[in-house]
């Protein structure tokens, strides 16, 4: 096997382990050093530390590999138009899904609870986390894999690894894991089409934020929200305790988007 291929595979494995350690370290640092701070500030600090560590790791590894393109590509072809389209798509996906679940009478809205400090800190933490994930999975890992396999295959492998990093999330099911895989395809295909991370970052941030604000858990994790929801029963229509990403409605939406981007990518190539 080519030495470069071995180096790439080992790099991905080692960086994946470091990525897990970064997640653990961020939570520990915030808990130990900032225990007395109120929750909004804790969330803000954890998000900043998390993104900083991930960006630092990518930069250092790119330098060690002497692959400037891996880190440099993250900042090429920046397009605020793509960012806004991503924001709109991410928000619209969740709103449409929310309305469908509500129409099917698979959830109830108990009350509206507006707490601006939690809303802001929640947005910042979600934003930093989404940016870090896109930098690592699409910007770093997918770019690195395209050097040894075809871009389409790199998207599939990155999406599978994306699932593995969510495998310990509370109440993960086969359907929710499949939805995470589909989200990875949407992010990966759109990155190949736009050749920048702006769409994926905008989509990822507002896809997660919209879930949080509308009262859903995000990948099994509870976040501050504007609405308090209850479900008659936890099922595949409303997603239960995993949240919107555990819903068959989410599956249909993400599957439609991934097929749309795959077809667009085929035409482009």
| Mean pLDDT, residues 91-120 | 89
Q: What CA–CA distance (Å, rounded) separates 113 from 111?
A: 6
Q: What is the mean predicted confidence (pLDDT) over 34-55?
A: 73
pLDDT band at 140 (very low <50, low <70, confident <90, very high): confident
Distances (CA, A) of 62 to 142, 172, 180: 13, 33, 27
What whole-number percentage of the chain has pLDDT above 90?
46
pLDDT the model gives residue 10 = 78
Task: Report the pLDDT averaged over residues 201-230.
Answer: 91
Give the Cα separation of 224 and 179 in Å (integer): 22
Q: Do the beta carbons of residue 122 and residue 223 sit within 8 Å?
A: yes
pLDDT band of 74, cuts 50, 70, 90: low
Task: Report the C-alpha gap between 110 and 107 in whole angstroms.
Answer: 10
Looking at the DSSP bridge assignments, the partners of residue 221 are 218
Pull the structure tokens for residue 104: 């099917």
Average confidence (pLDDT) over 154-165? 92
* pLDDT above 80: residue 220: yes
**In this structure, what DSSP letter does residue 218 have?**
B
Q: Which two tokens stand for residue 214?
A: 């509308």
Average the pLDDT over each of 18-27, 89-98, 218-227 and give the range with the smallest value: 18-27
DSSP single-letter state for residue 221: B
Secondary structure class of 180 (helix, strand, coil): helix
Identify any residues that bridge with 218 across adjacent strands, giving them in sequence order.
221
Kindly give, in sequence order, each residue whose CB lies less than 8 Å from that of residue 56, ignoring residues fewer than 6 positions away.
none
Residues in the chain: 269
- The lowest-confidence range among 19-28, 96-105, 221-230, 237-246 is 19-28
Residues forming a β-bridge with 8 = none
The pLDDT assigned to 206 comes to: 96
Mean pLDDT of 201-216: 94
For the chain, what are the domain ranges? 77-268
pLDDT at 252: 97
Range 9-14, long-range pairs (CB < 8 A, 24+ positions): 9/148, 11/61, 11/65, 11/144, 12/141, 12/144, 12/145, 12/161
CA 85 to the chain's CA centroid: 17
For residues 143 and 131, the answer to whether their CB atoms sit within 8 Å is: no
């Amino acid at each position: 096997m080519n030495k470069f291929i071995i180096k790439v595979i080992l790099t991905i494995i080692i960086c994946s382990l470091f990525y897990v350690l970064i997640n653990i370290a961020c939570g520990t640092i915030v808990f130990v050093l900032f225990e007395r701070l109120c929750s909004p500030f804790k969330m803000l600090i954890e998000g900043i530390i998390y993104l900083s560590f991930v960006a630092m790791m990518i930069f250092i590894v790119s330098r060690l590999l002497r692959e400037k393109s891996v880190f440099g590509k993250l900042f090429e072809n920046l397009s605020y138009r793509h960012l806004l389209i991503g924001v709109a798509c991410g928000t619209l996906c969740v709103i449409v899904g929310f309305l469908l679940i509500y129409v099917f009478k698979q959830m109830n809205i108990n009350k509206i609870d507006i707490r601006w400090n939690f809303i802001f800190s929640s947005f910042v933490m979600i934003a930093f986390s989404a940016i870090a994930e896109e930098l690592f999975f699409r910007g770093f890992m997918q770019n690195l894999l395209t050097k040894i396999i075809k871009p389409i295959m790199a998207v599939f492998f990155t999406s599978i690894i994306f699932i593995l990093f969510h495998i310990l999330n509370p109440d993960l099911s086969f359907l929710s894991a499949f939805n995470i895989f589909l989200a990875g395809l949407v992010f990966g295909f759109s990155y190949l089409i736009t050749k920048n991370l702006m769409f994926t970052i905008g989509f990822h941030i507002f896809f997660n934020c919209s879930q949080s604000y509308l009262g859903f858990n995000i990948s099994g994790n509870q976040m501050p929200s504007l609405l308090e929801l209850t479900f008659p029963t936890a099922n595949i229509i409303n997603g239960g305790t995993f949240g919107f990403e555990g819903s068959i409605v989410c599956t249909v939406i993400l599957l439609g988007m991934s097929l749309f981007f795959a077809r667009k990518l085929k035409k482009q190539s």
